Structure 1
Amino acid sequence: MTPEAVIFDIGNVLIEWQPERYYDAVIGEDRRRAMFAEVDLHGMNDVVDRGGDFRDTIYATAEKYPQFRDEIRMWHDNWLDLAKPAIPQSVRCLRALRAQGVKVLALTNFGIGTWAIATPVYDFLNEFDHAYVSGHMGVIKPETRIYEMVEDHSGLDPSALLFTDDRIDNINAAMARGWQVHHFTGSQGWADCLVSKGLLTAEQAT
């Protein structure tokens, strides 16, 4: 069936999210590897994405690992340098869908504090019909509850939802709910999917 709503993940779909790349550039790959091997930085970020205080969570982790204190604090202090740049074709597809009158939603693992930082900088984050932000929901992908909450709030049948995400575990969880899915590995593949679903023309999806 033709989707009634298109749901975008944000990190690595609309905005590049590559903390390792940032740290490689700032502190060097060797020290970055040592830090990530010792500190569960992505687990720390999950706490933020569940609604934990952004600064308090990062700074508390930094105090547990004094040998990496300054570097861990960068996750908070320089967050916008970790979350960049925007992915232009994906942004154009979002806007083209809206111009066609397609309902466009976001479903993202994002903290309350980081969302407040990102939305003034990336104007397209304010253009969704609704943004389902994990920090405000208190649950993260790929937990089943977050998908149920989207279904309940949107009032749409799962089969009417088309969802893209760069993480296959998030995709598999949505697919288990009966959602239409696209595993995002690049913006052109996503654009081609939208064309194949009859939502955009090839020209609109460029």
Structure 2
Amino acid sequence: EFLKLFDKLVLSHKVGAVKPEEKIYRAVEAFTHAAPEKHFYIDDIPEYVAGGKKLGWDAVQFVGNRELFDEFTKRGIKWNNRAAK
């Protein structure tokens, strides 16, 4: 159900790489045409977060909703049309 919310997906089996391999992160960059530092990446697995950070991504480990909303607020990201509280 969750994946149906997205128009486009970068899928590891189609890229031929998995996190934390550099190739999967670079595939996302190629898809978005954005510089590494423009990517905000959230994952619950520390090694995957480290993989993104190693390439210059703004990456955080998911540990809970409250902490995630705090990260959104730090970046000025709005959630449900309002600033994260």
| TM-score, structure 1 normalization | 0.37
Pick from 136, 144, 169: which aligns with 2:22? 144
Structure 1 segments of 4+ aligned residues over 4 angstroms from their partners? none
| Residue 129 of structure 1, CA deviation | 4.3
**Where do residues 92-131 of structure 1 align in structure 2 (5 Å cutoff)?**
122=1, 124-131=2-9
**Where do residues 58-97 of structure 1 align in structure 2 (5 Å cutoff)?**
none
Supply the distance in 2 between the matched residues of 1:197 and 1:142 (Cα, whole angstroms).
24
Counterpart in 2 of 1:202? Answer: 84
2:40 is the counterpart of 1:193: no
Identity percentage over the alignment? 28
- Secondary structure of 2:9 counterpart: strand
| Residue 130 of structure 1, CA deviation | 2.5
Counterpart in 2 of 1:155? Answer: 33
| TM-score, structure 2 normalization | 0.85
Q: CA RMSD, aligned part only?
A: 1.3
What amino acid is the match of 2:9?
A
| Residue 202 of structure 1, CA deviation | 2.7
Supply the distance in 1 between the matched residues of 2:69 and 2:7 (Cα, whole angstroms).
20
Structure 2 residues not aligned, in runs of 5+: none
What amino acid is the match of 1:191?
F
Aligned partners of 2:42 and 2:59 also within 8 Å: yes
Supply the distance in 2 between the matched residues of 1:179 and 1:197 (Cα, whole angstroms).
14
Counterpart in 2 of 1:68? Answer: none
2:52 is the counterpart of 1:170: no
Counterpart in 2 of 1:93? Answer: none
Q: Which has the larger radius of gyration?
A: 1
Pick from 183, 197, 203: which aligns with 2:61? 183
Pick from 109, 133, 141: which aligns with 2:11? 133
Structure 1 residues not aligned, in runs of 5+: 1-121
Supply the distance in 2 between the matched residues of 1:132 and 1:168 (Cα, whole angstroms).
20
Q: Which has the higher helix share?
A: 1
